């Protein structure tokens, strides 16, 4: 039995009071995600049930029940409060996928703070941009990442605490640093959870755009309603499931469906804190008897590349439901998964801004491989005309994916950037910035992004951020960054660079620039290819025409180049 009845029945009967009632939430009363994911599950009598099965890269395993979670999040929340951190302040989580990341996330919410998770792979500059914008008050991190925090202290006078969760006292702590040893902290049995209301800010997730700096999509505690019910319906999470979301909480998938959705449903999750390797992934599924698996197309394509034989070496018979998000899921990948796992991967489409799944393939619905599926119950989604933003009523015509505002997990603003937030709404619709068409059966088919943002291995990287960082390299006069097709990662970053006088293009220089970006921003932002060019194509007003370079990489028509400047 699936949690969801037939799609048509759910669409007919659904309204948001259904999940509100299931969660015993009464409008106007308190709603705190931290408490819902830990305390409430214990109150329901599931305190002894496993909440988290964690495995590190050396294969070591740690397990925590919901009661452990309740106590650990209480303890950490009290600790943060004792430091003087206030409700509404931004507290950043800058860690690998260690258990403290998960407790920390919920603890911040319990004490009323705003959780700001960031990828631990970020370099100092990527980190600074996001902390400075958020005006972050504290950062929770690990010893191995603290060097990246130290270099930005002078630019972050408001960052009061650097909390290190694994300090071994081998070296003295520096300015603003403090060691938190969870195992030594007395467990706090009762913590006065912050009485957050529906619209109280909860999570700040940074996401990249085409221009300007990354923007912080700000969410509220009421997002729980969407995250809870979509995890229940789309991931079909049931009481005896062992669920594995492969995403890092630095990405919205890792929080909405790697923390909030499953735990609000009282489900056991497992986490693998190790990089991708087909064998280790299959072994992990076998060892922990994973039943529901939420992953991303890049990972699936990487598994496909490793072939079918390796799959047979493992007993993966525990698997019963598979979902995917982040990029277009090719029909080949869907069919391949059916062949090797006996199950289709179910594609889901959503964004940092939407906070929860918007368009999905449901366990009870016929899959059309290559399609993103249909809108979630309670979500009104369509495609609108590229110029007029009027809904397109004819099947098969490409337009912009648009969603009627008002669903519970919609972002409430971009931090410090209400203007850009407002610009995302046109003609009464939230415009996602993606192009798609809808077929005669109501299935959505992804076409591409409507901007220059690069989707590499499911991570959005903004060309502007990389171009700005490139300019800081001594040799770079000008640069343009575009996505280049890649069989596994869908796109990888390619940089076109015009050098300053006195610099010569060479393999050495290329590697030096790549490394420079890897350290400054992140491994994902690092160009996989650099092409040195005498100059870049520009519009008459001086804007770099990335579109021309992109078309060249993808073998597409260049389109209108009437504004192209003549060299």
Contact residues: ligand 6R9, CB under 6 A: 207, 251-253, 325-329, 347-352, 372, 432-434, 446, 449, 455, 460
Q: From the CB of 117, what's the least distance to ligand 6R9, in Å?
A: 13
Q: How far is the CB of 343 from ligand 6R9 (least distance, A)?
A: 17
**C-beta of 7 vs 25, nearer to ligand 6R9:** 7
Q: Do residues 347 and 334 make contact, with C-beta atoms less than 8 angstroms apart? A: yes
Q: Is 312 strand, coil or helix?
A: helix
Closest CA relative to residue 554, chosen from 490, 460, 497: 490
If the CB atoms of residues 125 and 347 are measured against ligand 6R9, the closer one turns out to be: 347
**Residue 471 beta carbon to ligand 6R9: minimum distance, rounded to whole angstroms:** 25
Q: Shortest approach of ligand 6R9 to residue 213 CB, angstroms?
A: 16
Number of CB atoms found within 10 A of residue 286's CB: 16
Judge contact between 145 and 120, C-beta under 8 A.
Answer: yes
Closest CA to 395 of 371, 369, 424, 425: 371
> What CA–CA distance (Å, rounded) separates 187 from 431?
46
Cβ-based nearer residue to ligand 6R9, 34 or 328: 328
Minimum CB distance to ligand 6R9 smaller for 282 or for 430: 430
Nearer to ligand 6R9, 316 or 372 (CB): 372
Q: What is the closest distance, in whole angstroms, from the C-beta atom of residue 514 to ligand 6R9 in the complex? A: 23
Q: Which phi and psi angles does 50 have, rounded to 5°?
A: -70, 130
- Report the nearest approach of ligand 6R9 to the CB of residue 366 (Å): 17
Q: Which is nearer to ligand 6R9, 246 or 253 (CB)?
A: 253
Of residues 337 and 352, the one with the C-beta less far from ligand 6R9: 352
Q: Which is nearer to ligand 6R9, 180 or 436 (CB)?
A: 436
With b for 16 or more beta-carbon neighbours within 10 A and e for fewer, the 157-173 pattern comes to eebbbbbbbbbeeeeee
Q: Are 297 and 330 in contact (CB under 8 A)?
A: yes
Buried/exposed code over 98-130 (b: 16+ C-beta within 10 A; e: otherwise): bbbbbbbbbbbbbbbbbbbbbbbbbbbbbbbbb
CB burial string 57-89: b at 16+ within 10 A, e below: eeeeeeebbbbbbbbbbbbbbbbbbeeebeeeb
**Which stretches within 357-454 are classed as H helix?**
418-423
E strand map for 443-520? 444-449, 454-456, 459-461, 476-486, 490-499
Beta strand ranges found along 135-221 (DSSP E) = 138-141, 161-164, 177-179, 201-207, 215-220
Q: Return the DSSP state at 317.
A: T
Cβ distance 298 to 320 under 8 Å?
no
Distance CA 178, CA 143 (A): 11
Q: How far is the CB of 252 from ligand 6R9 (least distance, A)?
A: 5
- Indicate the residue among 385 and 450 with the shorter CB distance to ligand 6R9: 450
**Is the Cβ of residue 77 or residue 436 nearer to ligand 6R9 in the bound state?**
436
- Report the nearest approach of ligand 6R9 to the CB of residue 298 (Å): 11
Q: How far is the CB of 208 from ligand 6R9 (least distance, A)?
A: 8
Minimum separation from the CB atom of position 373 to ligand 6R9 (A): 9
Note whether 402 and 383 are within 8 A (CB): yes
Q: Which is nearer to ligand 6R9, 49 or 426 (CB)?
A: 426
Packing angle, helices 278-288 and 297-306, rounded to 10: 100
Nearer to ligand 6R9, 228 or 251 (CB): 251
The least distance separating ligand 6R9 from the CB of residue 280, rounded to whole angstroms, comes to: 24
Taking the complex as a whole, the smallest distance from the CB of residue 218 to ligand 6R9 amounts, in Å, to 14
- Taking CB atoms, the residue at the shortest distance from ligand 6R9 is 352
- Which CB atom, from 38 or from 116, has the smaller least distance to ligand 6R9? 116
Q: In whole angstroms, how close is the CB of 354 to ligand 6R9 at the nearest point?
A: 8
**Cα-trace Rg, the chain:** 23
Please give the Cα distance from 1 to 535 (Å, whole number): 61
Strand positions, DSSP E, 365-475? 374-375, 381-384, 399-403, 413-414, 425-426, 429-438, 444-449, 454-456, 459-461
Distance CA 178, CA 176 (A): 7
């Amino acid at each position: 039995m699936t949690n969801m009845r037939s799609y048509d029945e759910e669409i007919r009967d659904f309204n948001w009071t259904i999940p509100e009632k299931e969660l015993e939430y009464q409008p106007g009363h308190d709603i705190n995600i931290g408490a819902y994911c830990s305390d409430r599950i214990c109150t329901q009598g599931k305190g002894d049930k496993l909440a988290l099965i964690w495995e590190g890269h050396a294969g070591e395993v740690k397990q925590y029940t919901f009661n452990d979670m309740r106590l650990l999040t209480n303890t950490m929340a009290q600790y943060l409060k004792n430091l003087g951190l206030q409700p509404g302040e931004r507290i950043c989580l800058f860690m690998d996928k260690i258990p403290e990341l998960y407790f920390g996330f919920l603890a911040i919410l319990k004490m009323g703070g705003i959780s700001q998770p960031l990828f631990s792979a970020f370099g100092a500059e990527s980190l600074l941009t996001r902390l400075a914008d958020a005006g972050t008050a504290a950062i929770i991190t690990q010893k191995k990442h603290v060097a990246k925090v130290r270099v930005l202290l002078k630019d972050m006078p408001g960052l009061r605490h650097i909390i290190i969760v694994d300090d071994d006292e081998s070296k003295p702590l520096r300015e603003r640093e403090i060691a938190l040893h969870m195992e030594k902290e007395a467990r706090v049995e009762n913590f006065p959870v912050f009485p957050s209301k529906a619209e109280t800010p909860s999570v700040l997730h940074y996401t990249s755009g085409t221009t300007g700096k990354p923007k912080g999509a700000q969410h509220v505690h009421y997002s729980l309603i969407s995250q809870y019910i979509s995890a229940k319906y789309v991931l079909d999470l049931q009481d005896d499931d062992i669920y594995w979301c492969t995403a890092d909480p630095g990405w919205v998938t890792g929080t909405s469906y790697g923390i909030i959705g499953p735990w609000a449903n009282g489900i056991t999750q497992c986490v693998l804190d190790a990089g991708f390797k087909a064998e280790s992934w299959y072994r992990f599924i076998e060892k922990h008897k994973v039943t529901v698996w939420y992953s991303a197309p890049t990972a699936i394509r990487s598994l496909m590349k490793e072939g079918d034989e390796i799959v047979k070496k493992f007993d993966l018979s525990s698997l019963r439901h598979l979902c995917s998000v982040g990029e277009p899921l090719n029909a080949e990948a869907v069919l391949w998964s059916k062949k090797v796992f006996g199950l289709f991967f179910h594609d889901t489409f959503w964004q940092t801004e939407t906070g929860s799944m918007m368009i999905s393939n449901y366990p009870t619905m016929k899959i059309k491989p290559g399609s993103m599926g249909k809108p979630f119950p309670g979500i009104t989604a369509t495609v609108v005309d590229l110029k007029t933003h009027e809904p397109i009523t004819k099947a098969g015509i490409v337009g912009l994916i648009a969603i009627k505002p008002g669903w519970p997990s919609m972002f409430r603003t971009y931090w410090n950037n209400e203007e850009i937030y407002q610009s995302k709404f046109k003609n009464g619709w939230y415009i996602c910035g993606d192009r798609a068409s809808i077929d005669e059966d109501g299935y959505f088919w992804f076409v591409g992004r409507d901007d220059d943002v690069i989707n590499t291995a499911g991570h959005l990287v903004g060309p502007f951020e990389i171009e700005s960082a490139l300019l800081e390299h001594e040799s770079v006069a000008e640069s343009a960054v575009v996505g280049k097709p890649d069989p596994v990662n869908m796109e990888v970053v390619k940089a076109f660079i015009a050098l300053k006088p006195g610099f010569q293009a060479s393999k050495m220089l290329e590697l030096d620039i790549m490394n420079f970006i890897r350290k400054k921003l992140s491994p994902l932002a690092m160009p996989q290819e650099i092409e040195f060019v005498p100059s870049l194509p520009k519009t008459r007003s001086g804007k770099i025409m990335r579109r021309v370079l992109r078309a060249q990489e993808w073998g597409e028509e260049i389109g209108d180049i009437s504004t192209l400047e003549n060299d």
